[in-house]
Structure 1
Amino acid sequence: MLNNMLVTANQFFDVFIHVFNASSFEGLFIVFGLIIICYIAVGMLDDNFFQNRALQKRTAMIVGFVPLIAVLFLQLYWMATKADKLSLYESNLQLVLIFYFLLMFNTKIQVYVDSALAIVLTGIFILDSPDYISGSSLFIGLVGLILIIITMYIIQKYAQKIVESWLLQVTAVLFFANAWWLMLSLSEDVSIMLYIALVLKFIFFISIILGINQIIVRRWQKYQQMMDELNKDFLTGIFNREAFDEDFTTLFIESNQTNFDWTFIMFDIDNFKSFNDNYGHLMGDEVLKEVTKTVQETLNHSYIGGKLYRLGGEEFGILIRKQDHERIEQLVRQIGSEIHSIDIKRAEFDVRLSISMGMTMFRADSDANVRQIYDRADGFVYYSKQHGKDALTDEGNLIHFE
């Protein structure tokens, strides 16, 4: 019996070594490269500089297809460089890409795309089924397909919790690997030993990826925290004057080089000084928070977007690029009206708020520097205040909010 166990162990060791061939580790480096490239691409798409709802939907759609593109790229690479060595064993690296992006990008679109991929592969294996696919093998493969769809749905739904727990990660990896290899076993006559070796190979590779990812994520979070402290206003949580100066200058330079339109909107809270004088600074702070919250939510729910800054005191700025002027004016009117809906109640008084706004577009033929644009918008805010407040001055045209 001991001899049989030793023979079995030796056979499994041979299979295990065969599965972990040199090209696998070469492919692992390619996977690292693909992950980095995908993160850069998604980072460019998901940049919240001028994000809006339409772009968010479009970005989510594109991000959902990024893993599939990476998988296809890896397949094309192997077909071009190792056509004679192409085998089922290398599928683990593609599964690593699918699992990693499912966990980290966390988009429902990817669940749909990857489920469709699994269904298509299952159909191909069945249609091209050689003689060795028996009824039991077909049943196991179809069970694997169902488990793939269910597992990916659960991983996507609870991705944040899984990322934060090693136990959940191990569980997710085991279910994911077994589900996919149950289905992929339709493509070849996979023995029990080979099946176990392939699952272990996936676990080994994804453990390396997730381990390195955790180190990078921790450092990135520290960097993001540091950047937030530098670029965010401590009271309202929106971008501060330093971030505005940098973005304002960058936008001016880019628009001069590539010739696109953009708009600068400035506003401040009417009668803000009286809130501080009559009701105290705590009330003033609450007013600032409520106004920024309302404006930010309005921007987030619009199809235009924009980036909101606190310029100092009760003064704020918004930068919007590449949008129709009329649509921006409608958005600004909506912001002015939404401010009216802010209701800060106290036992002894009710606070009613309004803002005065100035809006101007970049003028390529006459704006020599950012100061000209800033002063023009500032002048329009002053004009709104001098003519009854609670209004927008759009390139000199006064519009009172309803």
Structure 2
Amino acid sequence: MSVNFILVTISYLSSLIANVIVLLGAVSLFTWLEKETERNFIARHRNLVLCAMGISFIVLAYGEAWTNGHSSSNLIGFHWTYLNVVIVAVYNLLLRVKTKWILALTLVLTAAWMLATRPLAVVTAGMYAKLVFVMVLECGVYRFADQIQKTAAMYFVDFTIFSAGCLWLGPNLYTQQSLDAWARQIIALVVLEFAVFWYGRTLYRQNIKLEQFRHDAEFDDLTGVHSFGVFNRDLLRLFNTFKTDQQAYSLYALDVDHFKHINDTYGHLAGNEVLKAISHEIDCVVTHVEYQTRLYRTGGEEFTVILQAIKPDAKRAEEISREIQRAINQLRFTFDGQDVRVTISLGAANVLPDDANYLDSYKRADQFLYTSKRSGRNAITLRGRTLARDVS
């Protein structure tokens, strides 16, 4: 076994392993950026962040290739050019980033890649034609990204065409390769793309499972509204915000009157139907008010609405409470041949500067709710004052 063969093998395998690790790391970061929701800047400017990350990665690969070409005298094969890494990165970026900036910047970098690699004096018309062909392929990948990603077969067929165009241009920019070097080049390209495809699909499936787990934790299965856990988290966040910028919020605690009687008389399926209908009516009302609102199921038959960034307007609070009450009062159910009507009791409270704990406002709303219960049910108590019954 010759020293040259050993040198080539070590160089080839080490660069292949390093490229796989780098690409998989980039896929991990890219996938995280696609799904990140906690950081407001990323959530608001996601495509810009993804575009910047992807283009930076390609520029890094070009920079490494240029550095290697000008600092090494013993260049073996094309793997020193990072050509395979660039092909895989550009192809997947064009598929996954939904902004025209990624296409425009990729086209600019592709043209710069050729013009920076070969002196203009030796750039032929044929090389320009190949460059245009590669750029057309890039436009096609971006334009038909959704269709390409529908099946694995379509994905790899298109990748084969795209990579063939890039490899067709490659020899015009770098020293010619031997047949053995071409074989190593293509094998490495296949390994890199399969690694990126498999790893990307694995992360995608994991994200789907995580999203399902998150949905199950954040939403009530029966009514589809937010769960108590989300309510607790949101209330703590709003309380902390209130302490810093005095952005007030209000809580409306609602409970279905005589719900146990409905369950005991007509069964739990009837009770479930009532809860679903009531949550739907409440949500329809509060989503049309001028404030940002969220509805939560905070107990068996208890719901809570949070209205954010409110103005201290007692009249408007009464109007909203009345709208909710009337919407519920208009519901009609038929169980076992009998017409059934339901009502709710409601208690509302605002956050106060003297509140020492984020649960204080919720405790007041809950106390006012039970004031409504003790007042004969189907009643509304706002900030300690029980309203006259609505006779409309």
Determine if the TM-score, normalized by the shorter chain, exceeds 0.5: yes
Among 336, 348, 371, the alignment partner of 1:359 is 348
Aligned to 1:189, what secondary structure does the other structure show? helix
Q: Which runs of 5+ in 1 are unaligned?
A: 1-9, 47-54, 103-108, 163-167
Matches within 5 A, 1:312-351: 312-319=299-306, 321=308, 323-325=309-311, 339=328, 344=333, 348-349=337-338, 351=340
Among 243, 253, 273, the alignment partner of 1:286 is 273
User: How far apart are 1:287 and its partner, in Å?
Assistant: 0.9
**C-alpha distance in structure 1 between counterparts of 2:323 and 2:110, whole Å:** 51
Among 51, 67, 78, the alignment partner of 2:50 is 67
Q: 1:38 to 1:333 in 2, by over 3 A?
A: farther
Question: Is the Cα–Cα contact under 8 Å of residues 295 and 304 in structure 2 kept in the other structure?
Answer: yes
Which segment is superposed worse, 287-296 or 20-29? 20-29
Which segment is superposed worse, 390-399 or 311-320? 390-399
Does residue 167 of structure 2 align to residue 174 of structure 1? no
Does residue 37 of structure 2 align to residue 43 of structure 1? yes
User: How far apart are 1:253 and its partner, in Å?
Assistant: 5.4
Aligned to 2:38, what secondary structure does the other structure show? helix
**C-alpha distance in structure 2 between counterparts of 1:390 and 1:183, whole Å:** 73
Does residue 389 of structure 2 align to residue 389 of structure 1? no
**C-alpha distance in structure 1 between counterparts of 2:189 and 2:386, whole Å:** 65
| TM-score w.r.t. length of structure 2 | 0.64
Question: Is the Cα–Cα contact under 8 Å of residues 94 and 141 in structure 2 kept in the other structure?
Answer: no
Question: Is the Cα–Cα contact under 8 Å of residues 122 and 145 in structure 1 kept in the other structure?
Answer: no
Compute the RMSD of aligned alpha carbons.
5.3
Question: Is the Cα–Cα contact under 8 Å of residues 265 and 359 in structure 1 kept in the other structure?
Answer: yes
Q: 1:19 to 1:216 in 2, by over 3 A?
A: closer
User: How far apart are 1:367 and its partner, in Å?
Assistant: 0.6
**C-alpha distance in structure 1 between counterparts of 2:191 and 2:362, whole Å:** 56
Among 124, 141, 151, the alignment partner of 1:131 is 124
The equivalent of 2:357 in structure 1 is: 369
Q: 1:388 to 1:187 in 2, by over 3 A?
A: farther
**C-alpha distance in structure 2 between counterparts of 1:286 and 1:280, whole Å:** 10
User: How far apart are 1:277 and its partner, in Å?
Assistant: 5.1
**C-alpha distance in structure 1 between counterparts of 2:115 and 2:321, whole Å:** 58
The equivalent of 1:189 in structure 2 is: 172
User: How far apart are 1:72 and its partner, in Å?
Assistant: 2.8
Aligned to 2:172, what secondary structure does the other structure show? coil
CA deviation string 1:141-171 (max 9, x = no partner):
364144213431324xxx6xx4xxxxx2243
The equivalent of 1:141 in structure 2 is: 134
For 1:380, the aligned partner's letter is: F
The equivalent of 2:76 in structure 1 is: none
User: How far apart are 1:44 and its partner, in Å?
Assistant: 1.5
**C-alpha distance in structure 1 between counterparts of 2:265 and 2:17, whole Å:** 75
Q: 1:151 to 1:361 in 2, by over 3 A?
A: same
CA deviation string 1:207-241 (max 9, x = no partner):
32443455556666666666666665454354444
Identical residues among aligned pairs (%)? 20
**C-alpha distance in structure 1 between counterparts of 2:29 and 2:367, whole Å:** 50
**C-alpha distance in structure 1 between counterparts of 2:217 and 2:343, whole Å:** 29
Question: Is the Cα–Cα contact under 8 Å of residues 381 and 392 in structure 1 kept in the other structure?
Answer: yes
Larger Rg: 2
Aligned to 1:110, what secondary structure does the other structure show? coil
Does residue 79 of structure 2 align to residue 91 of structure 1? no
For 2:253, the aligned partner's letter is: M
**C-alpha distance in structure 2 between counterparts of 1:332 and 1:176, whole Å:** 59
**C-alpha distance in structure 2 between counterparts of 1:125 and 1:333, whole Å:** 67
The equivalent of 2:75 in structure 1 is: none
Aligned to 1:368, what secondary structure does the other structure show? coil
Q: Which runs of 5+ in 2 are unaligned?
A: 70-80
Matches within 5 A, 1:222-237: 233-237=220-224
**C-alpha distance in structure 2 between counterparts of 1:201 and 1:298, whole Å:** 60
| TM-score w.r.t. length of structure 1 | 0.63
**C-alpha distance in structure 2 between counterparts of 1:23 and 1:146, whole Å:** 29
User: How far apart are 1:125 and its partner, in Å?
Assistant: 8.0
Does residue 26 of structure 2 align to residue 31 of structure 1? yes
Q: 1:259 to 1:361 in 2, by over 3 A?
A: same
User: How far apart are 1:189 and its partner, in Å?
Assistant: 3.1
**C-alpha distance in structure 2 between counterparts of 1:32 and 1:247, whole Å:** 32
The equivalent of 2:73 in structure 1 is: none
- Which of 1 and 2 has higher RCO (CA within 8 Å, sep 6+)? 1
User: How far apart are 1:286 and its partner, in Å?
Assistant: 0.6
**C-alpha distance in structure 1 between counterparts of 2:201 and 2:329, whole Å:** 46
Which segment is superposed worse, 237-246 or 146-155? 237-246
**C-alpha distance in structure 2 between counterparts of 1:110 and 1:141, whole Å:** 20
Aligned length in residues: 359
The equivalent of 1:309 in structure 2 is: 296
Question: Is the Cα–Cα contact under 8 Å of residues 266 and 336 in structure 2 kept in the other structure?
Answer: no
Aligned to 2:296, what secondary structure does the other structure show? strand
**C-alpha distance in structure 1 between counterparts of 2:298 and 2:212, whole Å:** 21
**C-alpha distance in structure 1 between counterparts of 2:110 and 2:139, whole Å:** 11
**C-alpha distance in structure 1 between counterparts of 2:328 and 2:189, whole Å:** 54
CA deviation string 1:231-288 (max 9, x = no partner):
6545435444455445545654565477654443322234534533554432111111
**C-alpha distance in structure 2 between counterparts of 1:392 and 1:354, whole Å:** 15
Question: Is the Cα–Cα contact under 8 Å of residues 220 and 226 in structure 2 kept in the other structure?
Answer: yes
Question: Is the Cα–Cα contact under 8 Å of residues 177 and 199 in structure 1 kept in the other structure?
Answer: no
Which segment is superposed worse, 230-239 or 306-315? 230-239
**C-alpha distance in structure 2 between counterparts of 1:271 and 1:85, whole Å:** 79
Aligned to 1:309, what secondary structure does the other structure show? strand
Aligned to 1:84, what secondary structure does the other structure show? helix
